[in-house]
């Protein structure tokens, strides 16, 4: 059961006395336009954007003058404690009598004999959700935007994912039952049992059982020929061997491993843990001799599983229309397994739509104009002044909350240029690059003071956070940075202001970054690195250009938010040597080390294979210190997330600041219990014209 609790929209702020040079909204790269170091801009802007940019500039003109300081009045966006008027617990009689409420559109189908009654569609023990504020109202469409469909597939995926377990809302640090109603451990954690809710059905009405979980695990995830990736996810491996999964009965599975499975609950909380065997087995050679693996892989791509209509789902909404490159439409799932605490089947909204809009500034404009209900996945810190300035119109609310993630520069330990590879592997160079960054300036100019400066370490929300460790190598000291570069043998021998490699060639590097505010941050960082003599260029490109370069190792520096500081074990592939070509910033680590990273891997693996909290803490603190002392990644600190929602929505959480390891903003915003407010005089679902009750 999910309950509301006291929340604040933001954390402590830093006061910067520096006057902002660019407090107004930057349209694309207007702040740093025309700089020679932007080598490649992989964008094609339609001509009509000239008009839209002009409109945005007019909107931006409403902002305070540039002479003000960058202090952000975060107190203004704080809300009172979010309390719910919904019942804290469901009436037992509703469950015993199975008198559930349902959406009018579904009740109409029931009355025509086209759909079973809601009592027959829900499981024996439905999952009860206490709405964030109140019992909602049925109907309407939730409107969101994406900058792409296939390339932005993780937006819908994180929004709609349902697994045996799930991260709590609003307290994302909790793990709660979801499709499973119970779990337990035996043999000191070497065996784990999960019992799923009896009576859950796929969106086509077919029963969901352990067979679907087994199909996902054995026939998709662990089948080397069926799986698209070279290796199975490391979270399902213990001592380099797959965790064994077996069926006990139709509703119970047992997982066993040679060591305690200390992270199995986290593994069961991420994305999907079942696919409909009754719809996919005919494509699998194990069940159909005439089938082939190539066809099976083509039929089970992420796009096919998440975007394509026709495949049954367990999520609150199921795809009904995919206009490629334009729109994704999801309708309510009539068999969804959750109800509110008044007994009404969720979701409240009839439909969820994603409109594909490639330009984030156009998404911002449409949100301000009330054409989009939720702005989060593509919200950027640079949008904050405009969002705050236009909030007074009453069409939306702005939310600000702290997160562990912040901008980070992933230097490639196996850079294509062997000279740069040698430089990046020198700890003196990495420390110099870190302390050459003026994080206070980055926060003030590019982050509107919504970045708390810090170094490369585990985040504040982990049990292993230590402020002194977190701040290591983060204090700005350009003189020391230059001395370290000199000591490492990278000097400016010809006096042109740039250092040379050891063979006399120019010391230069390129940052891969996506367009928008991130490119502005990189431009500032490039200026600061050039100030200590390192020639720095930017390669600006869309995600579908930048991401493949990351996965193949064809980059010098990859700019991204620091991945997994809120729970490094969940994203262990970024922090340890978990297989060939991992981590992506040091693809040759398996063969070449360094020794400290091998030691990190040992301790993180040990933390994964114990259920003793003291042991976990011991190993993770050692791993933390090894990472921070060796600064393999240049982090900048912990940021704040900025997002917003339409005032026509009810039950929107005040806090949707979950990090990516807990499925990010898209999941934390809790779509299934958000509702669209009706006109004055409308009632809530139970007992109103907006719902029907089965059995009454």
Instruction: Give residue-wise pLDDT tens across range 381-417.
Output: 889 999 999 999 999 999 987 777 788 999 999 999 9
pLDDT the model gives residue 516: 78
Instruction: Please indicate whether residue 620 or residue 174 has the higher confidence score (pLDDT).
Output: 620
What are the domain boundaries of the chain?
98-395+642-696
pLDDT, average across residues 161-186:
90
pLDDT the model gives residue 79: 54
pLDDT the model gives residue 192: 96
pLDDT, average across residues 1-30:
29
Instruction: Please indicate whether residue 541 or residue 663 has the higher confidence score (pLDDT).
Output: 541
Crossing angle of helices 517-531 and 439-446, rounded to 10°: 150
Phi-psi region of 281 (alpha: psi -120 to 50; beta: other; left: phi over 0): alpha
pLDDT score of 214 more than 80: yes
pLDDT score of 523 more than 80: yes
pLDDT the model gives residue 659: 66
What span, in angstroms and rounded, lies between the C-alpha atoms of 48 and 598?
53
pLDDT, average across residues 226-238:
87
What span, in angstroms and rounded, lies between the C-alpha atoms of 342 and 354?
29
pLDDT the model gives residue 38: 44
Q: How do residues 66-77 score in pLDDT, each as one tens digit?
A: 333 334 444 444
pLDDT the model gives residue 173: 74
Between strands 351-356 and 317-323, the pairing is: unpaired
pLDDT, average across residues 471-500:
97
Largest separation between any pair of C-alpha atoms in the chain: 88
pLDDT the model gives residue 691: 52
What span, in angstroms and rounded, lies between the C-alpha atoms of 546 and 147?
15
Q: Cβ(39)–Cβ(347) under 8 Å?
A: no
pLDDT the model gives residue 567: 81
pLDDT, average across residues 94-101:
96
Q: What one-character-per-residue DSSP string does 135-203 give?
A: ------EEEEEES-SSTTTHHHHHHH---SEEE-SS-TT-EEESSEEEEEEEGGGTEEEEEEPTT-B-T
Report DSSP state, residue 227.
-
Residues in the chain, overall count: 696
pLDDT the model gives residue 692: 55
Q: Cβ(328)–Cβ(322) under 8 Å?
A: yes
Q: How do residues 420-434 score in pLDDT, each as one tens digit?
A: 999 999 999 999 999
13, 26, 292, 413 from 391: Cα distances, Å: 21, 18, 55, 45
Q: How do residues 565-619 score in pLDDT, each as one tens digit?
A: 878 888 888 999 988 899 999 999 999 999 999 999 999 999 988 888 899 999 9
Q: What one-character-per-residue DSSP string does 231-262 give?
A: S--GGGEETTEEPEEEEEETTEEEEE-SS--T
Q: Of the ranges 188-197, 257-266, 656-665, 669-678, which one carries the lowest mean pLDDT score?
A: 656-665
Q: How do residues 441-454 score in pLDDT, each as one tens digit?
A: 999 998 888 889 99
- For the entire predicted model, the pTM comes to 0.78
pLDDT, average across residues 14-42:
31
Q: What is the mean pLDDT of the chain?
A: 85
Q: Per residue in 207-218, is it b (16+ CB within 10 Å) or e — as a string?
A: ebbbbbbbbbbb
Instruction: Please indicate whether residue 685 or residue 340 has the higher confidence score (pLDDT).
Output: 340
pLDDT score of 49 more than 80: no
- Percentage, residues of the chain above pLDDT 90: 67
Report DSSP state, residue 217.
I
Task: Tell me which CATH code domain 98-395+642-696 carries.
Answer: 3.40.190.10
29, 515, 549, 558 from 541: Cα distances, Å: 13, 6, 11, 12
- Percentage, residues of the chain above pLDDT 70: 85
Report DSSP state, residue 633.
S
Q: Cβ(182)–Cβ(164) under 8 Å?
A: no
Tokens encoding 403: 């997160």
Q: Cβ(267)–Cβ(236) under 8 Å?
A: yes
What span, in angstroms and rounded, lies between the C-alpha atoms of 559 and 521?
10
């Amino acid at each position: 059961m999910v309950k509301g609790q006291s929340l604040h929209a933001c954390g402590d702020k830093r006061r910067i006395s520096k006057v902002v040079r660019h407090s107004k909204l930057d349209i694309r790269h207007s702040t740093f336009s025309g700089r020679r170091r932007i080598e490649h801009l992989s964008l094609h802007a339609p001509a009509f954007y000239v008009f839209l940019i002009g409109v945005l500039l007019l909107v931006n003109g409403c902002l305070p003058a540039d002479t003000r300081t960058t202090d952000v009045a975060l107190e203004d966006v704080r809300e009172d404690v979010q309390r719910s008027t919904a019942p804290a617990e469901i009436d037992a009689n509703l469950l015993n009598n199975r008198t559930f409420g349902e959406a009018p559109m579904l009740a109409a189908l029931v009355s025509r004999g086209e759909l079973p009654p809601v009592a027959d569609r829900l499981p024996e023990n439905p999952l009860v959700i206490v709405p964030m504020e109140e019992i909602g109202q049925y109907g309407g469409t939730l409107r969101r935007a994406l900058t792409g469909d296939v390339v932005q597939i993780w937006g819908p995926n994180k929004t709609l994912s349902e697994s045996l377990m799930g991260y709590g809302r609003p307290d994302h640090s909790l793990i709660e039952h979801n499709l499973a109603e119970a779990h337990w451990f035996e043999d000191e954690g070497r065996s784990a049992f999960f019992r799923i809710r009896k009576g859950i059905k796929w969106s086509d009405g077919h029963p969901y059982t352990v067979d679907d979980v087994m199909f996902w695990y054995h026939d998709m995830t662990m089948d080397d020929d069926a799986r698209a990736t070279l290796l199975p996810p490391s979270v399902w491996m213990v001592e380099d061997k797959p965790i064994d999964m077996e069926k006990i009965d139709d509703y119970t599975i047992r997982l066993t491993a040679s060591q305690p499975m200390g992270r199995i609950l986290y593994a069961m909380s991420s994305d999907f843990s079942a696919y409909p065997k009754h719809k996919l087995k005919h494509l699998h050679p194990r069940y159909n001799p005439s089938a082939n693996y190539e066809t099976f892989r083509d039929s089970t791509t992420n796009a096919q599983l998440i975007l394509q209509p026709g495949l049954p789902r367990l999520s609150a909404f199921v795809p009904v229309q995919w206009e490629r490159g334009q729109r994704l439409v999801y309708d309510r799932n009539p068999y969804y397994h959750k109800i509110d605490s008044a007994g009404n089947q969720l979701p409240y909204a009839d439909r969820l739509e994603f409109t594909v809009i490639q330009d984030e500034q156009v998404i911002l404009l449409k949100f301000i104009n009330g054409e989009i209900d939720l702005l989060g996945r593509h919200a950027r810190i640079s949008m904050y002044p405009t969002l705050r300035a236009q909030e007074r119109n009453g069409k939306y609310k702005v939310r600000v909350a702290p997160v562990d993630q912040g901008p980070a520069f992933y230097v490639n330990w196996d850079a294509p240029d062997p000279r740069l590879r040698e430089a990046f592997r020198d700890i003196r160079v990495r420390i110099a690059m870190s302390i050459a960054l003026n994080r206070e300036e980055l926060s003030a100019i590019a982050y509107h003071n919504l970045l708390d400066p810090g170094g490369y370490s585990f985040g504040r929300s982990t049990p292993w956070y230590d402020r002194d460790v977190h701040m290591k190598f983060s204090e700005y000291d350009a003189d020391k940075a230059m001395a370290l570069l000199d000591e490492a043998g990278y000097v400016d021998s010809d006096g042109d202001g740039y250092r040379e490699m050891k063979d006399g060639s120019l010391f230069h590097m390129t940052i891969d970054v996506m367009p928008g505010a991130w490119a502005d941050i990189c431009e500032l960082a490039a200026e600061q690195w050039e100030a200590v003599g390192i020639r720095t260029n930017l390669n600006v490109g869309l995600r579908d250009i930048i991401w493949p370069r990351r996965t193949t190792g064809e980059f010098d520096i990859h700019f991204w938010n620091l991945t997994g500081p809120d729970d490094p074990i969940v994203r262990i592939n970024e922090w340890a040597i978990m297989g060939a070509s991992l981590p992506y910033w040091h693809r040759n680590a398996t063969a070449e080390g360094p020794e400290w990273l091998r030691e990190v891997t040992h301790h993180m693996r040990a933390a994964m294979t114990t259920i003793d909290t003291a042991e976990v803490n011991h190993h993770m603190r050692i791993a933390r210190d090894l990472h921070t002392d060796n600064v393999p990644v240049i982090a900048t600190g912990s940021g704040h997330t900025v997002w917003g929602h339409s005032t026509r929505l009810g039950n929107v959480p005040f806090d949707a600041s979950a990090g990516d390891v807990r499925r990010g903003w898209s999941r934390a915003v809790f779509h299934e219990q958000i509702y669209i407010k009706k006109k004055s005089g409308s009632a809530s679902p139970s007992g109103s014209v907006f719902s029907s009750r089965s059995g009454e």
